[in-house]
Amino acid sequence: MKIGRYCVNIMLGQSPVKTLPEKISPEAQELHERKKESGELDKFKIREAHQIYRDNHKKKWKRRRWTTLVLINLLFVFSYALDIQVLEGALTASRFLGFHMADLNSALQVVLAFKVVVINLLIGTVTVLIIWLLLGGRAFCSWVCPYHLISEFAEMIHLKLIEKKIIKNHIFNRKARLYLYIIFALLALVTGYTVFETISPTGILSRALIYGPTVALLWVLFLLTVEIFYSRRAWCRYACPIGLTYGFVGIFSPLKINYNVDACHHEGDCRKVCLVPHVLEWTIKGRAPKINVELGPDCTRCGMCVDVCPTDSLSYHFKGLSKKK
Amino acid sequence: MVAGVTGFSLLNLIPTMTNANPRLRPPGALDEKEYLASCIKCGQCVQVCPVEAIELADIFDGQGQGAAYIDARAQACDFSCDGLQCVLACPTGALTHEINYPHETRMGYARLELPDQCLAMQGAGFNGITRGVEYGGKLRFDKIDRWNPLPLNEQYFDLELCDLCVRLCPIEIRADQCDAGTPPSNDINQCPPNRAIELMLETTPEGRAQYRPTILEGCVGCGVCEMVCPTTAPSIVIDQRATWEQITGGQA
């Protein structure tokens, strides 16, 4: 099975499997062997270095990402509140300086329910499709979606509570997202109504920010409560069809996070901060199929792993533009 | 979890599909089912409306979170944008792009609901600010300001016979302008082909004269009459999606 195909299956909910040696490139195999031999020598030193790095590392990408996310959402808010008219509408559909934009998942739901494709919607959808093809599919999630941001805050609280052993994390089967994706697509098709939009925390939050608070925010609050006390990042990990829609786009995106196994200590700090740690399975000792390997399409390109990695083994990579090290 | 999320989404679907809470839709709205299917809940119609007539439904309104509607009593559509900005703004065609002028819209049809309460029916006048000073609604008063809608509570009326529903009807105002040879923006396409509302003189069985607000073929259901009616509960209301043909059987 090709690596790309394998990564798509992982996104759809398959559990990662230990890569079989015959699929690993000879160069990578040699490196894995060499690492195995050098073995446990500096384990303690490495752990200590990682700890120091974890406590002191500059969260460069997180800062950039949060700034971008807040600015985009503020642009929506101010376009209406202050009438600056730069980005009118909400995240589901908008006009940027007059040009149509449509959220890919919202557009998909409308087309399935309405069964007619309107030219303006098509223009908006294609524009947004091109943008996220270039910028990396699920980058929408981590760089734009307002729910992602507050969910990150909920995650911080969740991790604090875990650390103090007050709660335990509960893991669901990741296939749930695929099932929900199919259910909501079928519901839109059969009922002729965009059922998912009613409970989409992304849409609810975006509209609440722009048009004022709604009762629907209680649903968002409920989701956050579940994420804080019961299951880490549950909505984004196991439910949100928007994430999967952009995930599909991300398959074809030239913008990915590249993993270079060479200098990696295999301490797994990246997997601990990651929303979708299954895309980082390559970073487990002996699993990287090549010296340089791109993370799968479920990756939200948030850059948390890039920030936390002390050896620069993970980096943003734009196919054809940037060189792999 | 799959069942939970799906179940919750369906809770909202049931009242939506059974149309448990019918609402006035913005100009150009498709048939209810198609409208709900195609509305992408972005609120661009909300943003362009000069009188801020359009609101977005909340999660328990029984019509899907974010679907656009108009509460005419709170703020009706008075077409003060002239060009149906909400229709132009709609990215999905939920508000059909096939109409260009206010008189082409069919949001509903007005009905005199409380004839006993209606001031005109009693032959009474109206003196003061309709809906009171607290009321926040706006309307355009062409003669005072061509472009900017004005707060209704700044307008003082002194009428021997209350005819607010006729006097402030946007279709009637346009028809009057056209009859005077001065259509809005000198665009004769703005001229409504039919009148929308008039006060019809009747004689009661007791021999008393009364003026009955009578809805005509040109009524588009914008809701301004419902909005401006000075009685505590509006004497005149809009039946959502009702049409002249339906109500009168097509007989003028």
In chain B, the residue whose alpha carbon lies closest to the alpha carbon of A98 is B89
CA B163 to chain centre: 17
Q: Give me A313's structure tokens.
A: 């083994």
How close B177 comes to chain A (CA, Å)?
A: 32
Q: What is the pLDDT confidence band of residue A57, given thresholds at 50, 70 and 90?
A: confident
Residue A1 has pLDDT above 60, yes or no: no
Chain B interface mutation, best of A77, A91, A110, highest count of B Cβ atoms under 10 Å: A110
In chain A, the residue whose alpha carbon lies closest to the alpha carbon of B43 is A89
CB distance from A248 to chain B under 8 Å?
no
Question: Do B44 and A93 lie within an 8 Å CB cutoff?
Answer: yes
Residues of chain B in contact with residue A100, where contact means CB-CB under 8 angstroms, are 91
So what's the pLDDT on residue A324? 60
d(CA A246, CA A140): 7
Query: pTM for this one?
Result: 0.91
CB distance from B251 to chain A under 8 Å?
no
* Whether the Cβ atoms of residue B229 and residue B168 lie closer than 8 Å to each other: no
In a domain, B250, yes or no: no
Arithmetic mean of pLDDT, A230-234: 96
Residues of chain B in contact with residue A222, where contact means CB-CB under 8 angstroms, are none
So what's the pLDDT on residue A77? 96
Question: A67-113 pLDDT, tens per residue?
Answer: 999 999 999 999 999 988 899 999 999 999 999 999 999 999 999 99
CB distance from B14 to chain A under 8 Å?
no
CB distance from B36 to chain A under 8 Å?
yes
CB distance from A252 to chain B under 8 Å?
no
d(CA A260, CA A22): 19
| 3 state DSSP class of B70 | strand
Print the domain residue range for B87: 2-242
Residues of chain B in contact with residue A182, where contact means CB-CB under 8 angstroms, are none
Residues of chain A in contact with residue B37, where contact means CB-CB under 8 angstroms, are 110, 113-115, 192-194
Residue stretches of chain B with pLDDT short of 50:
none
CB distance from B16 to chain A under 8 Å?
yes
Arithmetic mean of pLDDT, A293-313: 94
The pLDDT mean for chain A works out to: 92
How close B159 comes to chain A (CA, Å)?
A: 38
Comparing CA positions, the residue from B73, B74, B63, B80 lying closest to residue B29 is B63
What is the residue type of A49? A
So what's the pLDDT on residue B184? 84
Chain A interface mutation, best of B65, B85, B87, B96, highest count of A Cβ atoms under 10 Å: B65
Question: Do A198 and B13 lie within an 8 Å CB cutoff?
Answer: yes
Angle at B154 between CA B153 and CA B159, to 5 degrees: 85
In a domain, B247, yes or no: no
Per-domain residue ranges for chain A? 3-57+255-318, 62-248
d(CA A95, CA B94): 16
CB distance from A184 to chain B under 8 Å?
yes
Which of residues 115 through 174 in chain A touch B, CB cutoff 8 A?
Answer: 115-116, 118, 120-121, 124, 172
Residues of chain B in contact with residue A107, where contact means CB-CB under 8 angstroms, are 40
CB distance from B40 to chain A under 8 Å?
yes
So what's the pLDDT on residue B149? 94
DSSP A238: I
Residues of chain B in contact with residue A79, where contact means CB-CB under 8 angstroms, are 47
CB distance from A211 to chain B under 8 Å?
yes
What is the residue type of B16? T
Residues of chain B in contact with residue A177, where contact means CB-CB under 8 angstroms, are none
Residues of chain A in contact with residue B46, where contact means CB-CB under 8 angstroms, are 80, 211
Question: Do A234 and B1 lie within an 8 Å CB cutoff?
Answer: yes
d(CA B211, CA A299): 70
Tell me how many domains chain B contains.
1
In a domain, B128, yes or no: yes
Comparing CA positions, the residue from A270, A273, A267, A306 lying closest to residue A136 is A306
Q: What is the pLDDT confidence band of residue A21, given thresholds at 50, 70 and 90?
A: low
**Residue B247 CB neighbour total at 10 angstroms:** 15
Question: Do B40 and A102 lie within an 8 Å CB cutoff?
Answer: yes
Question: Do B64 and A100 lie within an 8 Å CB cutoff?
Answer: no
So what's the pLDDT on residue B18? 72
Pairs of CB atoms within 8 A across A/B: 152
d(CA A19, CA A283): 12
CB distance from A78 to chain B under 8 Å?
no
In a domain, B36, yes or no: yes
Q: What is the pLDDT confidence band of residue A20, given thresholds at 50, 70 and 90?
A: low
d(CA B171, CA A125): 37
Question: Do A92 and B47 lie within an 8 Å CB cutoff?
Answer: no
How close B176 comes to chain A (CA, Å)?
A: 34
So what's the pLDDT on residue A296? 94
Q: Give me B225's structure tokens.
A: 């009459």
So what's the pLDDT on residue A17? 83
Q: Give me B203's structure tokens.
A: 């004689």
Question: Do B37 and A120 lie within an 8 Å CB cutoff?
Answer: no
CB distance from A191 to chain B under 8 Å?
yes
Comparing CA positions, the residue from B81, B104, B248 lying closest to residue B189 is B104
